[in-house]
Amino acid sequence: MKKTFIASQILLAINLFILIVPPSVFLIAFRLFPSINSTENGLGAYPLFFIVCGIVGLFVTIPLSAIMIVLYLLYKYKFNKKDLLLKVSESTNMKINIDRQSICMGDDMESHKKLHEISNTITFLELFNKLIEDNYFPYTGENNIVWVLRFNGKDKIAWKTKENTFIEYNEARYLLSKNQEVTPMIVFKYYSSFKEWEDTQSNAKKDQKE
């Protein structure tokens, strides 16, 4: 679109050049050099020829140029609007409440509930990793404890701390939605060992079958 727009403006400029410059050169030459007789050898027809060509060309290039200006402006407006919406979408943040269970009496001395502002396009796994990087979870040495991200009453992701691996449940990759009337709440459940978490999963499966 941009190349077509530029080409239409160049064609208009060329026609204006043909209409103005060559006739002016001939007329100035006739004035400066009276010895040149414009009626002889057909020299007087050249200015008229360029004027006619320029006018005929303008009948084509002026409408074309006007149409391309309108189309190019619409094109720019459309894509600028898309870029703006994309930037707004990318930069839109949402607030969520985050809390975790305490792992011991000492850890229970202060509240772990925090209000976080995050991108509305973040995934549960990305959020989990971000909180790990921010040292939200207490250090437990070599103990193979498990933290489980729970959202809307459902477990989403389990983190095995010793192996530093994640187990994603069904729908665990769903993005957090900002279309909430209340601030979303995410809770991290604590399991003191991998076996305790496994037993919980086994019991939950048995309950579902029954």
pLDDT exceeds 90 at position 184 = no
pLDDT per position as a tens digit, 75-88: 776 666 555 455 54
Q: What is the CA radius of gyration of the chain?
A: 38
Confidence of residue 200 (pLDDT cuts 50, 70, 90): confident
At 49, the amino acid letter reads F
pTM, two decimals, is 0.51
Maximum average pLDDT range among 23-32, 154-163, 172-181: 154-163
> Where are the chain's structural domains?
2-90, 93-209
Q: Which fold has domain 93-209?
A: Ubiquitin-like (UB roll) (3.10.20)
Query: CA 3, CA 74: separation in Å to the nearest integer?
Result: 15
Q: What share of the chain has pLDDT > 70, as a percent?
A: 76
pLDDT exceeds 60 at position 174 = no
Per 3-state DSSP, the chain is made up of helix, strand and coil in percentages (nearest 5) of 50, 20, 30
Q: What is the pLDDT of residue 31?
A: 77
The token duo for 92 is 């839109």
Q: How far from 36 is each of 24, 44, 49, 146, CA to CA, in Å?
A: 15, 10, 18, 102
How buried is residue 187: exposed, middle or buried, by Cβ count under 10 Å (0-12/13-18/19+)?
Answer: middle
pLDDT per position as a tens digit, 120-136: 777 888 888 988 998 88
